[in-house]
């Protein structure tokens, strides 16, 4: 249910964000259509946009948790986590070149990605932990179809949690081999230190973020499934990206991950 927000407003928000993505031109916030605080309406917009992408041939490969770091919440101006959908064409391997032209207002964050080995139908911490097959270092590139990142929580939720692309490292570890909350993260932009943090910056523990998503997904009757990739949330502040940038992150024992961005022209 979407409270007082009508179907016409939701459809108008869907059309605005879809057009911004297709025309590659940032748009006005959609909070003027669905309000700044109606989370149900915002997820209704996200769901409709997801259905459009799937109908056009995209394949869902997992979820992302956003706004888990207090530093990122302050940067973006919101005060609670959200989630979005990962599609197959958003995934890049470490060291490959990401086309800058597919992005609008990109910012990078380093995090831990979990790869699930089982469905999560019980959000209890032990069950969530048991469902994780492995973890891998990740760079998520968040992006916004909303001009100048002038977003409320409903804007970012509607806009698929401000998703862009994501890059995964090469080293997979099980949860018996490391403790996510204890990792240290260091991210460089063109060889210069740009962001640092720890696993505890992500809702106190990336596994707590995963449990939050598992509960929320069950509330939406769309549980996390075996094989899903889950980006668990930023371990430190966001870093703006320009054409030609090289972003490198080291995420504790998960090791390095590198995202190289194409020079325009």
Tell me how far apart the 2 most distant CA atoms of the chain are, in Å: 50
Is 80 exceeded by the pLDDT of residue 239? yes
pLDDT given for residue 79 in this prediction: 72
Q: Torsion angle of alpha carbons 235, 117, 160, 97, nearest 10°? A: 70
**Dist CA 234 CA 151 (whole Å):** 18
Mean pLDDT computed over 36-61: 96
For residue 75, the model assigns a pLDDT of: 64
Compute the CA torsion angle 264, 261, 161, 212 (nearest 10 deg): 180
As beta bridge partners, residue 188 has 193, 248
Mean pLDDT score of the chain, rounded to an integer? 94
For residue 2, pLDDT over 50 is answered with: no
pTM to 2 decimal places: 0.94
Phi/psi at 87 (5° precision):
-110, 155
User: Per the structure block, which two tokens stand in for 250?
Assistant: 């080291």
Report residue 165's pLDDT band, with 50, 70 and 90 as the boundaries.
very high
Listed in order, strand segments (DSSP E) in 47-204 are 60-66, 82-87, 91-93, 97-98, 107-116, 132-142, 163-168, 184-189, 192-198
Interval 240-256 mean pLDDT: 97
pLDDT for position 76: 65
Residue 38: strand, helix, or coil: coil
Q: What percent of the chain has pLDDT over 70?
A: 96
Instruction: Say yes or no to pLDDT of 106 above 70.
Output: yes
**Per-residue confidence band for 1, with pLDDT thresholds at 50, 70 and 90:** very low
pLDDT tier for residue 37 given thresholds of 50, 70 and 90: confident
pLDDT digit string, tens, across residues 173-214: 999 999 999 999 999 999 999 999 999 999 999 999 999 999
> How high is the pLDDT of residue 64?
98
CA distances from 256 to 101, 222, 249 (A): 25, 32, 6
Above 60 in pLDDT, residue 254?
yes
Which residue in 111, 80, 106 sits closest to 216, CA to CA?
Answer: 80
Write phi, then psi, for 173 (nearest 5 degrees). -125, 150
Half-sphere exposure of 215 (CA within 13 A, CB side): 10
Tell me the domains of the chain and their CATH numbers: 60-261 (3.90.850.10)
Average pLDDT over residues 14-37: 96
Residue 173 is given by DSSP the state B
| Ramachandran assignment for 42, one of left (phi > 0), alpha (psi -120 to 50 degrees), beta (any other) | alpha
**CA 55 – CA 59 distance, rounded (Å):** 9
Q: For residue range 109-123, what is the model confidence (pLDDT) as tens digits?
A: 999 999 999 999 999
- 113 within 8 A of 136, measured Cβ to Cβ: yes
Reported as a single tens digit per residue, the pLDDT across 55-100 is 999 999 999 999 887 776 776 666 778 999 999 999 999 999 999 9
């Amino acid at each position: 249910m979407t409270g007082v927000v009508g179907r016409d407003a939701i459809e108008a928000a869907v059309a605005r964000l879809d057009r911004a993505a297709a025309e590659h031109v940032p748009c006005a916030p959609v909070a003027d259509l669905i309000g700044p605080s109606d989370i149900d309406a915002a997820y209704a917009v996200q769901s409709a946009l997801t259905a459009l992408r799937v109908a056009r041939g995209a394949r869902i490969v997992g979820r992302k948790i956003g706004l888990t770091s207090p530093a990122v919440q302050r940067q973006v101006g919101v005060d609670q986590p959200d989630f979005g959908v990962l599609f197959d064409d958003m995934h890049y391997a470490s060291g490959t070149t990401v086309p800058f032209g597919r992005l609008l207002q990109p910012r990078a964050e380093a995090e831990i990605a979990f790869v699930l080995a089982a469905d999560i139908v019980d959000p209890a911490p032990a069950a969530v932990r048991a469902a994780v097959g492995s973890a891998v270092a990740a760079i998520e590139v968040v992006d916004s179809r909303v001009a100048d990142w002038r977003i409320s929580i409903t804007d970012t939720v509607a806009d698929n949690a401000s998703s862009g692309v994501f890059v995964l490292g090469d080293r997979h570890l099980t949860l018996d081999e490391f403790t996510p909350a204890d990792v240290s993260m260091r991210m460089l932009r063109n060889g210069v230190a740009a962001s640092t943090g720890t696993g505890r910056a992500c809702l106190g523990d990336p596994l707590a973020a995963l449990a939050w998503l598992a509960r929320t997904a069950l509330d939406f009757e769309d549980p996390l499934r075996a094989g899903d990739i889950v980006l668990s949330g930023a371990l430190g502040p966001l870093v703006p990206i320009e054409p030609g940038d090289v972003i490198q992150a080291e995420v504790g024992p998960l090791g390095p991950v590198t995202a190289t961005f194409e020079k325009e022209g």
